């Protein structure tokens, strides 16, 4: 499939990646090359083949409903770029 | 005594017979690191004090005559900087996590801590393990101890190189598409990717969850078995961890069957892309194996040409989602808002500039590729299709393993390439994973051990792949091979 | 409303927080109201390397709810990631269920005991499990607008229940939610506390308008922020009128405008535009590779079915059949919750006459609970004591009016029995001759009232009751009045 710079712009926005004009151009070319490469898959007959999500297929891995100690608040906030000792701080959600 | 290429098993024996102390061992390797690390850019973090403290604790416990000490107590280990540690930064080779210190230890780290293995430090890697050359790290490219102009391979390049350079007797890597095996081959060391789920992923920064697997890297297969005895086993914190009892990898190491059936994958051994010297080394290995009791036959994996394309859909899809948490909100790097720029949404602005500045080019490429392949209108054509092809790939293996016990072939199509050679050509770089990604897609155990060197002296690796859960058998056969050739690690020239 | 020139069409999405002790994918506590970010761990903080492990109890609660809603329970269900960036979502994706929800279809019947609307069946599309997000709070400090993020709630299990657009009025919507809440409380899967956000509701609304013999639908709006049943009712009423006005102005039908999300402002009493989904959100759902599927066998479901409690609808019918209560009375008791039904039944088992117990509960117990804002346990008046009290009244040991005094006395002292309370109040049965004497005395002293009664004023003797009470507080006013009438009517006086 072909990938236009508009597509790349849309993808970059979905992925929250700011791209410069130059980056947009170079990524468009590179991504197109990769997409063309993976397009080989279209040649495989997969009718009726069950998709394989996991490398080893398990089911029903369940934990009992028991509360365990988590992290202290200090530790939880310790890597935060901005906090007020209680909460994480981020730029206004509604701006 | 020179310990630089002593096996972990040998160091373990010397430690337990008190011929040497853990502190002496640690000091020895620390001095090697201070001498050689800079030239090869292997460790991104070393904490002398911490290593010596850990070693001293083991010495004290041994002096008290503690019987609980495991085989690897006091044997140093180097850790790929993708595993979460509370006592060192976990950078993932990314600007994003340059200062990140995990508030918890991952399961493998906790197990090694309990086993009394001092860590020498954290090793260099491709950013978030995305690459095959250890060139995309913010700390700069790792250099191959066999030829400093060449890459170590990747993404566990630092872990492979630290063995080759004799800076640590054991290392931990992760393997999503060959990231243990390919650098092991490039650096002339042994590396093992266990069956998916054998080793817990808890505390390993995720690249592609359904493909990621932690594994050991070492000088010998025996050392790999020793390390597997420590790091593997069911973990209730990882839903994909295999709920099976772990075999005694070391105790069963010498129990390789007298006769076994080896499959050679026709599509690989006959492929045009395979370097002639590598092919010769593999053929030679097969001859050795025949003498070890192998019945060698050709098998076909008809979908093998789709391994790399399927992998480069599935891995980026999972990665695009796994890396969403790196957004500047709760931890790690956050970009400063641009002065004077009025934005519709300061939040979206923060996300987009943080991620643009926090990630390197290859990571961004893969995030965008995965975002595209999962997006509305493309999901079926790419992601779903790749998952279906993945099933066919697994079925190819299942059929092949009806006739053979193990597959033997090249780990990589070529020996180590030059730094900068492929960095701008993603597709060429991806094709380096030609022989390794199959084991990740299918979940198989896979081992790479050195099997010779090219004319210019670069190491060549042979890959052994087994049925899922046949980890012990793969190690047994690898061990028998190393015994048959009288394997001794050769010091890299460090030039 | 009945003359409205349109049909209001409503579908609801109800988010129910399940009352597990720990979160859906980690073992942090789900307790409400703790200081911010004190119930967090690497998993619910979305820290690098952390991995989810599913809480079994959440599956059990979802299955229980699905069975009660007559849903089909999936034999195979899995987890999907819904990818979007928001600071209350630390992983950058919400773990949810996309194409294989744990429950599909099903229904809930609603009716109104006062007949405000016809009984109806509300169908469900699906119910799926997902993790709750954290909370973001707007904060302005020194002119810099920020949001503060508390992740205590992040990862709490939610069951999202989605109905078909079967509801036709704000009253029906409210009744549906009331009945759903009651059912969930009976099932004991959620505390359904709307103030604490454990039951949250979004509504999808539009109008079907007959135009030239055809039906035209207005663009659908999704209303969020409905934090009480009253808010649901008011918001839907407002929104119906707003859509009608808008239609009358622009005649834009569904498809002519993107779907809007509007927030309900409870203070202003209006819905306001939050966003238009112009770029249809692309959540890039895909199966979560960190979690494995859940399979349920027929035996698992049979077991869960066997453990299911009696549901409110069945209890209503049973109380009518078993105790001959009126439907209205049965509904009042059942709607108060399982605790009150148990209380009622315990009182009856202890010998209380069912109808009298029912009316005492409705008139006295519920009034008190409401006045005092107490629970039954806090009230400290056991079902057994209520049984004794109603038995005494039924037997005539004490009359209804003095019964209230006995009740009050017993409330003050939780150890006091009916007999002891009667004695303490000096209540004694008045024998027939005593009563006869009292009546004669009263009639003799009130010639005026007697004459008025004779002249046809039936109520004239009412004046005597007060006097009788003064002369003998134990005299049953009803008996006094009857006896006086008898004495006059028979010509004995």
Question: How many angstroms separate the CA of residue C236 from the nearest CA in chain B?
Answer: 30
Pairing label, strands C7-17, B446-453: unpaired
Find the radius of gyration of the CA atoms of chain C: 30
In a domain, B379, yes or no: no
Q: How far is CA B42 from CA B174, C26, C216, C302, C353, in A?
A: 16, 36, 70, 59, 86
Paired tokens of B176: 């999503």
Average pLDDT on B417-442 reads 93
Select from B82, B211, B236, B327 the residue whose CB has the most chain C CBs within 10 Å, as the one to mutate to test that interface.
Answer: B327
A76: which chain C residues are within 8 Å (Cβ-Cβ)? 37, 40, 45, 151
In a domain, B230, yes or no: yes
**Does one domain contain both C383 and C406?**
yes
Q: Are C168 and C8 in contact (CB under 8 A)?
A: yes
Q: Are C356 and C391 in contact (CB under 8 A)?
A: no
Question: How many angstroms separate the CA of residue A21 from the nearest CA in chain B?
Answer: 13
Average pLDDT on B41-55 reads 97
HEC letters along A3-14: CCHHHHHHHHHH
Question: Would you call A76 an interface residue with chain C, using a CB distance cutoff of 8 Å?
Answer: yes
In a domain, B121, yes or no: yes
From C304, C250, C65, C57, select the one nearest C156 (Cα to Cα): C57
Question: How many angstroms separate the CA of residue A1 from the nearest CA in chain C?
Answer: 19
C-alpha to C-alpha distance for C38 and C28, rounded to whole angstroms = 9
Dihedral over alpha carbons B205, B207, B211, B213 (to 10 degrees): -30
Residues 238-297 of C with CB under 8 A from A: 282, 284, 287, 289, 291-295
Question: Would you call B16 an interface residue with chain A, using a CB distance cutoff of 8 Å?
Answer: no
B62-66, B453-457, C53-57, range with the lowest pLDDT: B62-66
Question: How many angstroms separate the CA of residue C247 from the nearest CA in chain B?
Answer: 31
The share of chain A scoring above pLDDT 70, in percent, equals 98
Residues 240-299 of C with CB under 8 A from B: 280, 282, 284-286, 289-292
In a domain, C262, yes or no: no
CB spacing of A49 vs B392 below 8 angstroms: yes
Q: Pick the residue with more confidence: A39 or A95?
A: A39
CB spacing of C87 vs B209 below 8 angstroms: no
A 10 A CB-CB count for B147 gives 19
Residue B4's pLDDT is 87
Task: Give C270's strand partners.
Answer: C265
* Options B12, B21, B155, B320, the catalytic residue: B155
Mean pLDDT of chain B: 96
Q: Does B61 score more than 90 pLDDT?
A: yes
**Does one domain contain both C70 and C156?**
yes
Residues 207-246 of B with CB under 8 A from A: 210-211, 236, 239-240, 242-243
The pTM of the full predicted model, rounded to 2 decimals, is 0.92
**Which sequence spans correspond to the domains of chain A?**
5-43
Among B209, B317, B330, the residue with its CB nearest the CB of C290 is B209
C381-407 b/e with 16+ CB inside 10 Å = b? bbbebbbbbbbbbeeebbbeebbbbbb
CB spacing of B389 vs A82 below 8 angstroms: no
Structurally, chain B folds into a number of domains equal to 1
Among B208, B237, B348, the residue with its CB nearest the CB of C53 is B237
C-alpha atoms less than 13 angstroms from C-alpha of B187 in its C-beta half-sphere:
40
Q: Are C75 and C146 in contact (CB under 8 A)?
A: no
Q: Are C24 and C294 in contact (CB under 8 A)?
A: no
Q: What is the DSSP letter of B381?
A: I
In a domain, C347, yes or no: yes
**Does one domain contain both C328 and C401?**
yes
**Is the torsion defined by CA of C445, C451, C454, C460 positive or negative?**
negative
C-alpha to C-alpha distance for C384 and C121, rounded to whole angstroms = 38
Residue A95's pLDDT is 43
pLDDT for B354-391, tens place per residue?
999 999 999 999 999 999 999 999 999 999 999 999 99
In a domain, B445, yes or no: yes
Question: Would you call B329 an interface residue with chain A, using a CB distance cutoff of 8 Å?
Answer: yes
B80 catalytic, yes or no? yes
A 10 A CB-CB count for C486 gives 12
Q: Pick the residue with more confidence: B339 or B144?
A: B144
Interface predicted TM-score of the whole assembly (ipTM), two decimals: 0.97
Task: Give C261's strand partners.
Answer: C222, C275
What is the chain A residue with the closest CA to B327?
A: A16
Task: Give C222's strand partners.
Answer: C204, C261
**Does one domain contain both C406 and C462?**
no
Helix axes of A5-14 and B361-374: crossing angle, nearest 10 degrees:
100
CB spacing of A52 vs B388 below 8 angstroms: yes
Task: Give C7's strand partners.
Answer: C208
**Domain range for residue B48?**
8-260+408-484
CB spacing of C48 vs B318 below 8 angstroms: no
Question: Would you call C156 an interface residue with chain A, using a CB distance cutoff of 8 Å?
Answer: no
Residue B58's pLDDT is 96
In a domain, C416, yes or no: yes
B373: which chain A residues are within 8 Å (Cβ-Cβ)? 38
Q: What is the pLDDT along chain C (493 residues), one digit of tens a residue?
A: 456 789 999 999 999 999 999 999 999 999 999 999 999 999 999 999 999 999 999 999 999 999 999 999 999 999 999 999 999 999 999 999 999 999 999 999 998 877 788 899 999 999 999 999 999 988 776 566 789 999 999 999 999 999 999 999 999 999 999 999 999 999 999 999 998 999 999 999 999 999 888 999 999 999 998 989 999 999 999 999 999 999 999 999 998 888 889 999 989 999 998 876 545 579 999 999 999 999 999 999 999 999 999 999 999 999 999 999 999 999 999 999 999 999 999 999 988 888 989 998 998 899 988 888 888 888 888 898 888 888 888 877 787 778 888 888 888 887 888 888 787 777 776 777 878 888 888 888 887 888 888 888 878 777 777 787 777 777 777 778 888 888 888 877 7
In a domain, C379, yes or no: yes
B179 catalytic, yes or no? yes
Select from B97, B103, B193, B436 the residue whose CB has the most chain A CBs within 10 Å, as the one to mutate to test that interface.
Answer: B103
B94 catalytic, yes or no? no
Q: Chains that contact A by 3+ CB pairs under 8 Å?
A: B, C
The span from the first CA to the last CA of chain A, in angstroms, equals: 37
In a domain, B322, yes or no: no
B210: which chain C residues are within 8 Å (Cβ-Cβ)? 289
**Domain range for residue C455?**
432-489
A30-34, A78-82, B352-356, C277-281, range with the lowest pLDDT: C277-281
Among A16, A63, A66, the residue with its CB nearest the CB of C85 is A16
* Options B7, B21, B80, B168, the catalytic residue: B80
In words, the CATH class of domain A5-43 is mainly alpha
C-alpha to C-alpha distance for C478 and B59, rounded to whole angstroms = 97
In a domain, C264, yes or no: no
A 10 A CB-CB count for B374 gives 27
CATH number at residue B229: 3.90.1300.10
CB spacing of A70 vs C28 below 8 angstroms: yes
Structurally, chain C folds into a number of domains equal to 3
The share of chain B scoring above pLDDT 70, in percent, equals 99
In a domain, B436, yes or no: yes
Q: Pick the residue with more confidence: B78 or C213?
A: B78
C-alpha to C-alpha distance for B464 and B447, rounded to whole angstroms = 5
B80-101 b/e with 16+ CB inside 10 Å = b? bbbbbbbebbbbbbbbbbbebb
Under the banding of pLDDT at 50, 70 and 90, the label for residue A52 is very high
Task: Give B296's strand partners.
Answer: B262
HEC letters along C422-489: HHHCCCCCCCHHHHHHHHHHHHHHCHHHHHHHHCCCHHHHHHHHHHHHHHCCCCCHHHHHHHHHHHHH
């Amino acid at each position: 499939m072909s990938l236009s710079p508009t597509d790349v712009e849309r993808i970059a926005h979905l992925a929250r990646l700011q791209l410069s004009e130059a980056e947009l151009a170079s990524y468009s070319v590179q991504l197109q090359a990769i997409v063309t490469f993976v397009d080989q898959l279209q040649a495989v007959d997969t009718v009726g083949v069950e998709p394989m999500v996991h490398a080893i297929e398990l089911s029903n891995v369940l934990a009992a409903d028991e509360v365990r100690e988590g992290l202290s608040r200090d530790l939880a906030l310790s890597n935060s770029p901005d906090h007020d000792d209680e909460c994480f701080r981020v730029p206004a959600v509604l701006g | 005594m020179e310990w630089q290429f002593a096996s972990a098993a040998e160091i373990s024996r010397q430690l337990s017979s008190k011929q040497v102390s853990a502190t002496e061992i640690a000091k020895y390797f620390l001095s090697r690191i201070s001498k050689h690390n800079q030239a090869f850019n292997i460790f991104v973090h070393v904490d002398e004090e911490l290593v010596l403290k850990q070693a001293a604790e083991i010495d004290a416990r041994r002096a008290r005559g503690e019987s609980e000490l495991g085989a690897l107590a006091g044997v140093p280990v180097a850790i790929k900087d993708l595993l979460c540690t509370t006592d060192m930064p976990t950078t993932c080779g990314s600007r994003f996590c340059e200062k990140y210190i995990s508030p918890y230890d991952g399961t493998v780290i906790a197990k090694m801590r309990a086993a009394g293995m001092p860590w020498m430090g954290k090793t260099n890697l491709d950013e978030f393990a995305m690459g095959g050359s250890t060139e995309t790290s913010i700390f700069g490219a790792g250099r191959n101890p066999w030829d400093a102009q060449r890459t170590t391979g990747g993404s566990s390049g630092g872990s492979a190189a630290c063995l080759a350079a004799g800076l640590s007797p054991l290392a931990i890597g992760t393997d999503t598409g060959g990231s243990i095996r390919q650098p092991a081959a490039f650096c002339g060391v042994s590396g093992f990717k266990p069956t998916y789920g054998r080793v817990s992923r808890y505390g390993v920064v995720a690249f592609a969850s359904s493909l990621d697997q932690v594994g050991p890297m070492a000088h010998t297969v025996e050392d790999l078995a020793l390390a597997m005895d420590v790091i593997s086993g069911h973990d209730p914190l990882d839903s994909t961890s295999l709920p099976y009892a772990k075999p005694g990898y070391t105790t069963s190491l010498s129990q390789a069957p007298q006769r076994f059936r080896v499959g050679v994958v026709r599509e690989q051994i006959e492929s045009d892309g395979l370097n002639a010297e590598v092919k010769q080394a593999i053929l030679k290995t097969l001859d050795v194996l025949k003498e070890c009791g192998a019945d060698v036959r050709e098998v076909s994996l008809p979908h093998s040409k789709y391994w790399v394309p399927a992998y480069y859909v599935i891995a980026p899809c999972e990665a695009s989602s796994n890396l969403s948490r790196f957004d500047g909100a709760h931890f790690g790097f956050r970009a400063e808002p641009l002065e004077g720029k009025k934005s519709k949404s300061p939040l979206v602005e923060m996300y987009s500039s943080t991620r643009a500045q926090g990630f390197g080019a290859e990571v961004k490429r893969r995030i965008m590729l995965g975002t595209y392949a999962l997006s509305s209108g493309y999901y079926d054509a790419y992601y779903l299709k790749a998952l279906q092809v993945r099933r066919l790939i697994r079925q190819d293996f299942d059929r092949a393993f009806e006739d053979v016990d193990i597959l033997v072939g090249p780990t990589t199509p070529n020996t180590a390439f030059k730094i900068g050679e492929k960095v701008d050509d993603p597709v060429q770089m991806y094709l380096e994973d030609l022989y390794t990604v199959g084991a990740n897609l299918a979940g198989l155990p896979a081992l790479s051990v050195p099997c010779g060197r090219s004319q210019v002296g670069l190491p060549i690796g042979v890959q052994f792949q087994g049925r899922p859960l046949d980890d012990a058998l793969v190690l047994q056969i690898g061990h028998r091979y190393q015994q048959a050739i009288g394997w001794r690690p050769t010091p890299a020239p460090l030039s | 409303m009945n003359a409205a020139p349109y049909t209001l069409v409503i579908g609801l999405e109800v988010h129910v927080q399940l009352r597990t002790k720990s979160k859906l994918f980690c073992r942090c506590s789900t307790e409400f109201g703790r200081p911010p970010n004190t119930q967090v761990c690497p998993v619910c903080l979305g820290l690098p390397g952390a991995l989810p492990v599913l809480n079994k109890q959440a599956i059990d609660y979802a299955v229980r709810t699905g069975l009660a809603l007559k849903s089909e329970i999936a034999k195979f269900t899995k987890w999907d990631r819904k990818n979007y960036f928001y600071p209350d979502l630390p992983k950058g994706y919400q773990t949810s269920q996309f194409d294989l929800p744990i429950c599909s279809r099903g229904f809930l019947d609603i009716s109104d005991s006062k007949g405000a609307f016809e009984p109806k069946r509300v169908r469900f599309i699906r119910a799926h499990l997902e993790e709750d997000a954290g909370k973001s709070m707007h904060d302005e400090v020194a002119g810099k607008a920020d949001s503060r993020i508390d992740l205590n709630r992040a990862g709490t299990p939610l069951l999202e229940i989605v109905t078909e657009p079967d509801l036709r009025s704000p009253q029906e919507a409210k009744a549906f939610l009331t009945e759903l809440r009651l059912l969930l409380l009976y099932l004991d899967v959620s505390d359904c506390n709307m103030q604490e956000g454990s039951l949250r509701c979004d509504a999808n609304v539009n109008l079907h308008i007959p135009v030239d013999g055809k039906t035209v639908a207005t663009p659908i709006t999704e209303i969020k922020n409905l934090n009480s049943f009253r808010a649901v009712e008011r918001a839907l009423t407002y929104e119906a009128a707003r859509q009608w006005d808008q239609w009358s102005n622009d005649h834009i039908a569904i498809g002519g405008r993107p779907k809007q999300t509007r927030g309900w402002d409870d203070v202003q009493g209006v819905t306001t535009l939050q966003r238009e989904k112009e770029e249809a959100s692309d959540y890039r759902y895909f199966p979560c590779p960190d979690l494995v599927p859940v399979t349920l066998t027929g035996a698992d479901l049979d077991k869960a079915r066997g453990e299911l409690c009696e549901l409110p609808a069945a209890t209503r019918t049973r109380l009518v059949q078993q105790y001959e209560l009126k439907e209205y009375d049965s509904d009042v008791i059942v709607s108060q919750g399982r605790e009150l039904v148990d209380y009622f039944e315990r009182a009856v088992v202890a010998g209380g006459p069912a109808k009298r117990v029912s009316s005492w509960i409705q008139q006295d117990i519920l009034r008190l609970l409401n006045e005092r804002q107490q629970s039954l346990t806090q009230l400290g008046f056991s079902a057994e004591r209520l049984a004794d009290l109603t038995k005494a009244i039924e037997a005539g040991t004490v009359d209804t009016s003095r019964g209230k005094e006995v009740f009050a006395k017993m409330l003050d002292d939780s150890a006091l029995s009916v007999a002891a309370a009667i004695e303490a109040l000096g209540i004694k049965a008045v024998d027939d001759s005593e009563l006869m004497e009292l009546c004669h005395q009263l009639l003799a002293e009130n010639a005026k009232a007697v004459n008025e009664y004779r002249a046809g004023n039936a109520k004239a003797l009412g004046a005597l009751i007060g006097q009788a009470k003064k002369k003998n507080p134990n005299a049953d006013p009803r008996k006094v009045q009857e006896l006086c009438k008898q004495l006059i009517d028979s010509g004995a006086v």
